Amino acid sequence: MSRRKLPDDYQKTIRALSDRIVQAQTPIRVLDAVKWDDSVRQGFLKHKGKSMPAVDRAYYENRPLAFDATEKKLEFQNIERDITRHLGQFNPVGQIMRRMCKEYRMVIRMLEARGTADFGLISQELYGAASDAFHAGDPTLADLGLMLSDYLNNIADRGDLKDEAKTLTAKDAVDLLQSRLGPVFGDDTIRVFESDGIVADAAAGADYIKIRADAMFNERDVRALEVHEGLVHVGTTLNGQNQPICTFLAKGPPSSTVTQEGLAILMEVIAFASYPTRLRRLTNRTRAIHMAEEGADFLDVYHFYREQGYSTEESYGSASRAFRGSLPGGLPFTKDLSYLKGFILIYNYIQLAVRKGKLEQIPLLFCGKTTLEDTRTLRQLVDEGLVVPPKYLPPQFRDLNALSAWMCFSNFLNHLSLERIEADYANIL
């Protein structure tokens, strides 16, 4: 891959502007700002799930943001202005950085609107809506969720697909993940530890994975965390931190969330780390968001989960994901659409890259917290030496032989009619 030497002052200008974006976004913690604290959960359970969670506009006003919203929006606006002044309107890396500044300003507007109707509307602008189609005339995300639920229902009663018992403690999961990820990233690079302060079973940071102290796991759960949180989320963060000039790739606005979560789900699938229960959890999140977009309130979504056999606490936790940042009767927080939406977009991208013979584009998805629409520009930036190729790559993306073969078959299979196949196979299946 040939690289042309760029002037040092040009590289320094990009690095300085990039560092300003990284610094400016530091106090913005979306999930911390929108989550409901434990008192809401306790109050809901105290009333045995018969009353709405005690969350209103005043609830959020009593939980101020960790930064001054007006000053922070102005800071990003000034960075955006300076990007244009120093790099011009059409500079490729400048266009990426300006879009990031715009997204962060929109994120701040969304957080300012917590507990109002605008929160859900801005969330849809940032992460999409369940009613969005992938292409004109194609099924929507809501359609995908229903279709996958139907498939899962068809195999739900098979005894051989039931989950193994969750016999691994948080400490067991920590030890297993540390032993598996240590050799990948270096024993001193990544830390896995227990935490009491998270809602999900696990959460990835820049160079660590937190495991909820009271969670229980089975071997499949741990394998999924290894692939999803470790190989993808930690891997792309470390690759972003390894960038000498485009340091903004270490941090991701909402557009990168869709790409990163989609990449993580794809990795689960091609590494054989996913399983029906995991997939149902993702499809349920999409269905819950669609229900809320169609007018369902918190109790409707809560009972949706209860009817599927989830416990009271599990149903509360899942329903609250859809309404965090909003009101129990408001529009949903749509970030959880990122998983299935991102999977479809990434899968289609890789499939098309194989069809067109552009395999070199695929590993660039791991350069940092990338956004799918920037991959062509990233290739140009790698050629110019402004972006370095990813240091950490999962085996499936380090050697593209198997992935390419799979996508070649997939490209052909897409041209076959499933309706015709079903009719032809009726007598043998």
Tallying the residues shown for the chain, one arrives at: 429
Summary mean pLDDT of the chain: 91
Model confidence at 193: pLDDT above 50: yes
Structure tokens at 276: 């029906």
Report the pLDDT averaged over residues 248-255: 90
The tokens 């507990």 sit on which residue?
A: 115
**Which residue blocks in 134-275 are alpha helix, DSSP H?**
141-155, 170-185, 219-225, 235-241, 254-270
Identity of the amino acid at 109: R
Tens of pLDDT, residues 298-320 = 999 999 999 999 999 999 999 99
What is the percent of the chain where pLDDT is above 90? 74
Q: What pLDDT was estimated at residue 1?
A: 46
109 within some domain = no
What residue type is assigned to position 125 of the chain? Answer: E
Domain-embedded: residue 253:
yes
- Domain count for the chain, please give it: 1
Tokens of 166: 């969750």
From 227, 225, 182, select the one nearest 207 (Cα to Cα). Answer: 182
The string of pLDDT tens digits covering residues 51-64 is: 999 999 999 999 99
In which domain, by residue range, is 342 found?
132-164+218-425
pLDDT bucket at 267, cuts 50 / 70 / 90:
very high
The answer to whether 127 and 105 have CB atoms below 8 angstroms apart is no
Please, what's the b/e burial string for 251-269 (b: 16 or more CB within 10 A of its CB; e: otherwise)? bbbbbbbbbbbbbbbbbbe
Residue 69 lies in a domain: no
Does residue 176 belong to any structural domain of this protein? no
CB crowding 298-325: b at 16 or more within 10 Å, else e: bbebbebbbeeebeeeebbbbbbbbbbb
Handedness of CA 195, 174, 309, 131 (dihedral sign): positive
* pLDDT tens-digit readout, 19-46: 999 999 999 999 999 999 999 999 999 9
Of all residues in the chain, the percent with pLDDT exceeding 70 is: 97
Q: Mean pLDDT throughout 346-352?
A: 93
Q: What is the pTM of this model?
A: 0.90
In a domain, 407, yes or no: yes
Hey, what are 377's tokens?
């520009």
Decide if 170 is inside a domain. no
**191-195, strands of its sheet edge to edge:** 191-195, 208-212, 202-204
- Whose tokens are 């963060």? That residue is 237
At 4, is the pLDDT very low, low, confident or very high (cuts 50, 70, 90)?
Answer: low
Dist. CA 334–CA 338, nearest whole Å? 8
Are residues 312 and 306 in contact, defined by beta-carbon separation less than 8 angstroms?
A: yes
Query: For residue 5, what pLDDT is reported?
Result: 61
In a domain, 240, yes or no: yes
pLDDT at 3: 54
Q: CA–CA separation, 111 vs 35, rounded Å? A: 11
In a domain, 143, yes or no: yes
pLDDT tens digits, 273-292:
988 888 999 999 999 999 99
Residue 419, pLDDT above cutoff 90: no
Q: Is the pLDDT of residue 112 over 80?
A: yes
